[in-house]
Amino acid sequence: MLQLIEKNPEAAIVLFWKAINAGDRVDSALKDMAVVMKQLDRSEEAIEAIKSFRSRCSKQAQESLDNVLIDLYKKCGRLEEQIELLKRKLRLIYQGEVFNGKPTKTARSHGKKFQVSVKQEISRLLGNLGWAYMQQSNYLTAEVIYRKAQMIDPDANKACNLGLCLIKQGRFDDAGSILGDVLQGKIPGSEDDKAKNKARELLMEVKAIQPPLELSDIVGLDDEFFNGLELLMNAYAPVRSKRLPIFEEISSFRDQLAC
């Protein structure tokens, strides 16, 4: 089947449909079909397929289907549905229905199994939730969520997203501090070249749009001080004629002629 998906994904989808309708390994057939549909830019169709046929799948398959749905919602820009599903998954973890009281669970990605801790899963979901809120330009809510995710299980990618969130709010110093931590290797995952490059790009963006510092910002004095200093200098400056310099020169030349 893997070779068929790679060579002829459309034909693979037909076979997946046949398996689903026949009740043959529906769990994997529905999930794999949705993934292939996403690759073929048929994400809306994949969403409807999961919603229509997930009731035929086992309880164990529901979480995997939710994860596929989250990716599909993200690709289609269906932010409200993505946010609601992410919140529901977080509630299920809180209620103990995902990890069943265990500190880790077995997850699968690209055909490989690995262990995921409660902290890692919560942080991952919060990261996705923060990104969804950013797409809605709700940067303050996104910031709160990203900071919570970083408190639970910090990583460089979410740090960069938090930096971007702060940039969108015009908080350049805060953003620069967080992005600097990534470049200095202070956050887990900072050794990843992709994260470093992203942090560098965002820092360049900060430098490009950050307003230049005023003299008062540099020396720690306010505008009122400088205004007062200017008035003081004017008060002690020698009295000068209000006429333009050229007329001063003409007057002097005229006095010489009179002599």
Helices in the chain by DSSP H: which ranges? 2-7, 9-22, 26-39, 43-53, 62-76, 79-94, 118-135, 139-152, 156-168, 172-183, 193-209, 215-219, 223-236, 245-258
pLDDT at residue 130 is higher than 90: yes
Whether residue 49 contacts residue 37, with contact meaning beta carbons closer than 8 Å, is answered with yes
pLDDT of residue 215: 47
Tell me the average pLDDT across 30-36: 94
Tell me the average pLDDT across 17-44: 94
Q: Considering the chain, what is the average pLDDT of its residues?
A: 83
Give the model's confidence band at 257: pLDDT under 50 very low, under 70 low, under 90 confident, else very high.
very low
pLDDT at residue 254 is higher than 60: no
Give the model's confidence band at 249: pLDDT under 50 very low, under 70 low, under 90 confident, else very high.
very low
Give the model's confidence band at 5: pLDDT under 50 very low, under 70 low, under 90 confident, else very high.
low
Whether residue 163 contacts residue 202, with contact meaning beta carbons closer than 8 Å, is answered with yes
What is the pTM for the complete model shown?
A: 0.75
pLDDT in tens, 179-226: 999 999 999 999 999 999 999 999 999 888 876 655 444 445 455 655
CA angle in degrees (0–180, nearest 5) for 55-27-126: 80
pLDDT at residue 246 is higher than 50: no
Cα–Cα distance, 75 to 144 (Å, whole number): 24
Whether residue 143 contacts residue 165, with contact meaning beta carbons closer than 8 Å, is answered with yes
Query: Can you read off the two tokens belonging to residue 97?
Result: 């229905």
pLDDT of residue 131: 96
Give the model's confidence band at 102: pLDDT under 50 very low, under 70 low, under 90 confident, else very high.
confident
Please compute Rg for the chain using Cα positions: 31
> Domain 154-210: which CATH class?
mainly alpha
SS3 per-residue string spanning 78-147? CHHHHHHHHHHHHHHHHCCCCCCCCCEEEEEECCEEEEEEHHHHHHHHHHHHHHHHHHCCCHHHHHHHHH
Domain boundaries defined on the chain: 1-76, 78-149, 154-210
pLDDT at residue 75 is higher than 50: yes
Tell me the average pLDDT across 153-179: 95
